[in-house]
Amino acid sequence: MRSMRLSYISPAASAAAQNPNYGRKKNVSAAAPPSAAASTTVLTSPPATTTTTRTPKQTEQEEEQLVAKNKTTRTVTATTNGRPSRVAPSQAQSRPRRRPAPAVAAASASLPVTFCNALEEVINTFIDPPALRPTVDPRNVLTSNFAPVDELPPTPCPVVRGAIPRCLAGGAYLRNGPNPQHLPRGPHHLFDGDGMLHSLLLPASPSSGADPVLCSRYVQTYRYLVERDAGAPVLPNVFSGFHGVAGLARGAVVAARVLTGQMNPLEGAGLANTSLAYFAGRLYALGESDLPYAVRVDPDTGEVTTHGRCDFGGRLVMGMTAHPKKDPVTGELFAFRYGPVPPFVTYFRFDPAGNKGADVPIFSVQQPSFLHDFAITERYAIFPEIQIVMKPMDMVVGGGSPVGSDPGKVPRLGVIPRYATDESEMRWFEVPGFNMMHSVNAWEEAGGEELVLVAPNILSIEHALERMELVHACVEKVRINLRTGAVTRTPLAAGNFDFGVINPGCLGQRNRYGYFGIGDPMPKIGGVAKLDFDRAGAGDCTVARRDFGPGCFAGEPFFVRDDVEGDGNEDDGYVVCYVHDEGTGENRFVVMDARSPDLEIVAEVQLPERVPYGFHGLFVTQAELRSQHQ
- Give residues with Cβ within 8 angstroms of 472, minimum separation 6: 458, 459, 460, 496, 519
β-pair type (427-430, 412-417): antiparallel
The string of pLDDT tens digits covering residues 75-87 is: 333 333 333 333 3
The residue among 390 and 596 whose pLDDT is bigger is: 596
3-state helix, strand, coil in the chain (%, to 5): 15, 30, 50
The length of the chain in residues reads 630
In whole angstroms, give the CA distance from residue 82 to residue 230. Answer: 9
Of 83, 84, 78, the closest CA to residue 61 belongs to 78
Tell whether 438 is in a known binding site.
Answer: yes
The string of pLDDT tens digits covering residues 545-561 is: 999 999 999 999 999 99
Tell whether 307 is in a known binding site.
Answer: no
Confidence of residue 400 (pLDDT cuts 50, 70, 90): low
Of 326, 347, 327, the closest CA to residue 336 belongs to 347
In whole angstroms, give the CA distance from residue 503 to residue 507. Answer: 7
Average pLDDT on 426-449 reads 97
- pLDDT at 360 > cutoff 90: yes
Distance, C-alpha 192 to centroid of its chain: 10
Domain ranges (residues) in the chain:
18-406+550-626
Confidence of residue 207 (pLDDT cuts 50, 70, 90): confident
Confidence of residue 19 (pLDDT cuts 50, 70, 90): very low
In whole angstroms, give the CA distance from residue 200 to residue 172. Answer: 5
Q: How far is CA 206 from CA 156, 164, 565, in A?
A: 14, 6, 14
- pLDDT at 523 > cutoff 70: yes
The string of pLDDT tens digits covering residues 487-513 is: 999 999 999 999 999 999 999 999 999
* pTM for this prediction: 0.83
Of the listed ranges 38-47, 200-209, 404-413, 432-441, the least confidently predicted one is 38-47
Residue 29's SS3 state is coil
Tell whether 243 is in a known binding site.
Answer: no
In whole angstroms, give the CA distance from residue 283 to residue 271. Answer: 16
Beta bridge partners, 410, equal: none
Cβ distance 204 to 170 under 8 Å?
yes
Of the listed ranges 80-84, 195-199, 426-430, the least confidently predicted one is 80-84
Cβ distance 240 to 78 under 8 Å?
no
In whole angstroms, give the CA distance from residue 324 to residue 616. Answer: 12
Which pLDDT score, from 0 to 100, does residue 246 have?
81
Tell whether 189 is in a known binding site.
Answer: no
